[in-house]
Amino acid sequence: MPTREAVSRDARVLALAGERIDYVLVRRRGRRGVGLKVDEHGLTVSAPATMPSARVEALVRESERWVLRKIAEWKSKRVPLVSWRDGAALPFLGGDLVLRLSTGAPRVERSGGELRVAVRALDEAAIRRAVVAWYKRAARDHLGARLLTLAHAARLVPPRFLLSTALARWGSCNARREVRLAWRLVKAPPALIDYVICHELAHLRQMNHSAAFWAEVERQCPDYRRLRAELFATDHLYRAF
């Protein structure tokens, strides 16, 4: 089998529908066709080492609508940057907590709609560590309680609950009856949290994504279709920090 090792990577620009598109052209030995990938880094085009650039660009233009649509989707789902300053808004249970900073003995506490964080020095890394540690504690309490409540409502023996640091998956369930939930999920509105939990609990009865599985999800969460679409459209907001 021929290898497809990269022989060059070049930053290039292409005009699609009058829009300037920056992309990376990766030439590979052993590759036969042109492959397109759009992710958080933008457009990457993989092409055979000897294919003329004009031919590569012509093939990209044939997929113009797909490329522009995917780029637009990624732009809309960019994770927002967090400014670790006094008065910044931090997402929590579908609303915002106002970050209040001070110096002193390390401490984090929630007071109404504020998250009060004291650190020895107003260093962004130290502030972030303190905030994330608080979120993980809050997630363990809230997600664990909802998992227990929804398991009882579904007439299921509550599974073992584990907190996850995953960025790409909000939850998972395995054959050992362990449900993992990403701590960042605690930033989402309660209804979306419950949908994710019901999704994982449904796996305790159907360890697949069959029609029977989705029927079980609907039994536990009748509005799951709308909530699933909402989570897909807004989940980038909950991945910040």
More confident call, 42 vs 189 = 189
pLDDT in tens, 175-218: 899 999 999 999 999 999 999 999 999 999 999 889 999 999 99
pLDDT of residue 30: 87
Residue 84 domain flag:
no
Question: In this structure, are 50 and 154 located in the same domain?
Answer: no
Model confidence at 6, pLDDT cuts 50, 70, 90, reads low
pLDDT of residue 5: 66
Residue 81 domain flag:
no
Model confidence at 130, pLDDT cuts 50, 70, 90, reads very high
> Model pTM?
0.73
pLDDT above 70: percentage of residues in the chain: 96
Question: In this structure, are 32 and 148 located in the same domain?
Answer: no
Question: In this structure, are 38 and 148 located in the same domain?
Answer: no
Model confidence at 1, pLDDT cuts 50, 70, 90, reads very low
Residue 155: give the domain boundaries.
Answer: 89-238
Question: In this structure, are 93 and 156 located in the same domain?
Answer: yes
Residue 115 domain flag:
yes
- Separation CA 123–CA 127 (nearest Å): 6
Question: In this structure, are 38 and 125 located in the same domain?
Answer: no
pLDDT of residue 240: 86
pLDDT above 90: percentage of residues in the chain: 73
**What's the rounded mean pLDDT across residues 101-113?**
96
Is it the case that residue 61 has pLDDT exceeding 90?
Answer: yes
How many domains would you assign to the chain?
A: 2
pLDDT of residue 209: 87
- Among 106-115, 125-134, 172-181, which is the least confidently predicted range? 172-181
Residue 212 domain flag:
yes
pLDDT in tens, 136-145: 999 999 999 9
Residue 82 domain flag:
no
Among 76, 101, 128, which residue terminates a domain?
76
pLDDT in tens, 116-129: 999 999 999 999 99
